[in-house]
Structure 1
Amino acid sequence: MLAYQQIFEALMPSAFCVYGHHRQLAQRHCCPNWRAQLPLEWREQVIAPTSFRVFREYEIPARRIIGYDSNNQPCYCAYDYRLIDLRSDDDEEFYTALAYDESLVAWRLHNQHWLIYRCVGAFDENDHGEQQLSVAAQMPR
C-alpha cells in the first residue's frame, strides 16, 4: 500500500487546491482556476462559480470539484483520476505504472446546458490519447 500512497502523492499532491489553483489569503481552502481549460470563445457564455467543494478519494488518486453559483446551484464540475498498476517483468522486482488516466472539466452555460471538456491519457507511442469538447443537457456525473 505504501507504493500506491507514494504514487498518489506524486501524481496528486496533498495541497487543498487542484486543477490549477491559487491560494486565497488567510483561508485554508483555495479557489480553483476554473477558467484554465475553458476555450476563449466560450468565456462569456458560462456562469461563474462563487464557491467550491472538493471531494477526494483516498484509495486511488482521484479528486472532484463542484463549483456553485450565487444561487447555490452547480455551475462547474471537474474530476481527475488515475489507475495505477503494480507490474513486474521478472516476478521479483515490481514497479508501478499508470494504467489509465482521465480528466473532465464542465461549465454550465447561460442556456442551462453544460460545456464538457474530457481528456483520456495516451498509454503507448501509437496512442495519442483522446480529447473531446461537447455540450450536454445535464451535469456530468
Structure 2
Amino acid sequence: MFQTLCSSVENACPGRGRALVAWMDELPSDLVGLVVPPVRFSIQRDTEIVADRSLGIDADGLTCFCAFRHVQTALRSEDDEIFYEAPIHVETVTAWRLPDHRWLTSHKVIGETEPMCGEPRLSVCTGMPR
C-alpha cells in the first residue's frame, strides 16, 4: 500500500516541542495512562493518493503507536461544468501498544453508505496492525 512513499519526517513528542502527530486524539480518555507513550515519530506520506502512515517509537526504540489513513476521492459536479474532487471513502486505523505488548486498535470507516461521524471500533490484538 505504501510503495510510493515520498517522505519520512522524524519529530519529537510534546515534551521536546510541538508534535506533528496527535497520537492521543482517538484514545479513550480513561485509557490514556495505560498505553506506552512515544518519544519520537516517523511520518510517511504517499505521493499518488491521499494516504499516510505515522509510527511512534518509545524510549527503548520499539514501535508503540501506529496510525494509517487512506482517503479515496471521486470527481463531483453540481452543475456539470465545474468539477471538484470529493472524498467518498475514508478509512483510518490507529493503534497503541499496551505494556503487556498487546495492541489497542481503533478502526474507523466513513463513506457514502456510512455516517460521516463514523464511530470507531475498538479491539485488542496480539500484534501491531499492518
**TM interval, short-chain normalised:** 0.7 to 0.9
Matched residue, 1:57: 46
Sequence identity of aligned pairs in percent? 37
Q: Does 1:135 align with 2:128?
A: no
Give the structure, 1 or 2, with the largest relative contact order (CA under 8 Å, sep 6 or more).
2
TM-score w.r.t. structure 2 length? 0.75
Whole-angstrom CA distance in 2 between matches of 1:93 and 1:32: 35
| Match among 62, 71, 74 for residue 60 of structure 2 | 71
What does the per-residue CA deviation read over 1:33-60, in whole Å, with 9 as the maximum and x for residues that have no partner?
2111111221221101011100000111
CA contact (8 A) 2:39 2:59 kept: yes
| Match among 13, 19, 24 for residue 17 of structure 2 | 24
Detail structure 1 runs of 4+ shifted over 4 Å in the superposition: 87-93
CA contact (8 A) 1:24 1:31 kept: no
CA contact (8 A) 2:44 2:52 kept: yes
Matched residue, 2:4: none
Moved more, 58-67 or 93-102: 93-102
Instruction: Flag the 1:90–1:36 CA change in 2: closer, same or farther, 3 A.
Output: closer
Report the 3-state secondary structure (helix = DSSP H, G, I; strand = E; otherwise coil) of the residue aligned with 2:120: strand
| Match among 59, 73, 88 for residue 99 of structure 1 | 88
Root-mean-square deviation over aligned CA pairs: 2.6
Whole-angstrom CA distance in 2 between matches of 1:87 and 1:122: 15
Matched residue, 2:73: 84
Moved more, 130-139 or 86-95: 86-95
CA contact (8 A) 2:88 2:111 kept: no
CA contact (8 A) 1:122 1:130 kept: no
CA contact (8 A) 2:36 2:96 kept: yes
What does the per-residue CA deviation read over 1:88-112, in whole Å, with 9 as the maximum and x for residues that have no partner?
6887654323221111211000110
Unaligned runs of 5+ in 1: 1-15
Matched residue, 2:99: 110
Comparing both structures, which one devotes a greater share of its residues to strand? 2
Whole-angstrom CA distance in 2 between matches of 1:39 and 1:120: 18
Q: Does 1:120 align with 2:113?
A: no
